[in-house]
Amino acid sequence: MKLIVALSLVSATLAAVSDLPVDSHGLVQLNDKRYTALTAVPREHYSVVLLTALGSQYNCAFCKEFDPQFKAIGSTVRAAQASRGKNTPEIILGNLDFSAGQETFQKLQIASAPNLWIYPPTKGPHAKVANENESPEPIRFDFAGSSPEELGDQAMEWISQITGTKMKIKRPFDYLKFTRMVVSIAAIIGSLYIFYAVAGTIFYSRHFWAVLTIGAILIFNGGQMFTQIRHMPYSSRGGYVAQGFQEQFGAEVHIVAATYAILAFSTISLAISVPRIKHEGTQAMLAGVWVVIQVMVFSFLLQLFRQKNGGYPFKLLL
């Protein structure tokens, strides 16, 4: 008589599990009653349950982020189960939202979400307990660190290891991500095209290379490599000019380069720009201005040399 009752209970449990509705992702949308049926003993299947809280009133952002990953896991397991062999255990995945299973959450004393649990089988070749009517503690997945995608991969591997099956998560094609990638690539190509059009004009300009070359000459003539190789400071408390020709501060490079630049520009103006002026009065005035500038700046340069070395013999005005 006891045997008949036990067989009846087993048959009722199996029938209840087989009647559970499955969605397009291979997941059973659980409530309190269905959760009890899915995890009831004895059972010959693995019950994988995600206890979550997707409602906006629960403010569980990670629940919403992980939900697509669990759906991808459900689709992967469903495809693998469709072609499983005799020695492959049955795996049933369920999704219990707090709004549909408040009694279960209270009974299990769950205070946070999401939680991913596996209830192993208690009967059959894959049973984990000696007594098929005793339900072992569920195996809990650790949601520590990582992004939702990485946790999805880890959860799939975790399920595979526990159930003894080889499965790799297969996610649906992300059209939004693909669109963003295409738009980003198009934007980069467009930006490079515009940059090339502008930069090409500058790159092939004689004036650009003239300014770049003259600037490099002025900087290097000012002693840039000397200060860089010897790791000289930019200045000191005593000023911007180091005493002696064996030392030089970084500021001297800029001072000397600027002085040479003014002298070069004044010479070019006197040789090229001033002769092109048709008005004689303006031409004479500008010529005089540039000569005065040239004499004053050259006097400053000689004074700078005398400041570095008091024995320097030459001077002009200063």
pLDDT per residue, tens digit, the chain (318 aa), is 443 434 344 444 444 566 688 888 889 999 999 999 999 888 889 999 999 999 989 899 999 999 999 999 999 998 888 877 777 889 999 999 999 999 999 999 998 899 999 999 988 888 877 677 777 889 999 988 778 889 999 999 999 999 988 888 888 777 878 888 898 899 999 888 888 888 778 788 888 888 888 888 888 888 888 888 878 788 877 677 777 777 788 888 888 889 988 998 899 889 988 889 888 888 899 999 999 999 999 999 888 888 877 777 887 887
Question: Helices 61-82 & 148-163, crossing angle to 10 degrees?
Answer: 40
90-97, strands of its sheet edge to edge: 27-30, 90-97, 45-52, 115-119, 139-140
* Confidence at residue 17, expressed as pLDDT on a 0 to 100 scale: 65
Counting Cα atoms < 13 Å in the Cβ hemisphere of 96 gives 27
30: alpha, beta or left? (left if phi > 0; alpha if psi -120 to 50): beta
Q: State how far the Cα of 34 lies from the Cα of 52, in Å rounded to an integer.
A: 15
* Confidence at residue 16, expressed as pLDDT on a 0 to 100 scale: 56
CA–CA–CA angle 273, 276, 277 (5° rounding)? 100
Query: The whole model's pTM is what?
Result: 0.54
Helix (H), strand (E) counts: the chain: 10, 5
Domain 8-172: top CATH class:
alpha beta
* Confidence at residue 211, expressed as pLDDT on a 0 to 100 scale: 85
* Confidence at residue 130, expressed as pLDDT on a 0 to 100 scale: 65
- Give how far the C-alpha of residue 252 lies from the chain's centroid of Cα atoms, to the nearest Å: 43
Beta bridge partners of 45: 90
Nearest CA among 70, 69, 91, 71 for reference residue 80: 91
* Confidence at residue 68, expressed as pLDDT on a 0 to 100 scale: 92
* Confidence at residue 140, expressed as pLDDT on a 0 to 100 scale: 93
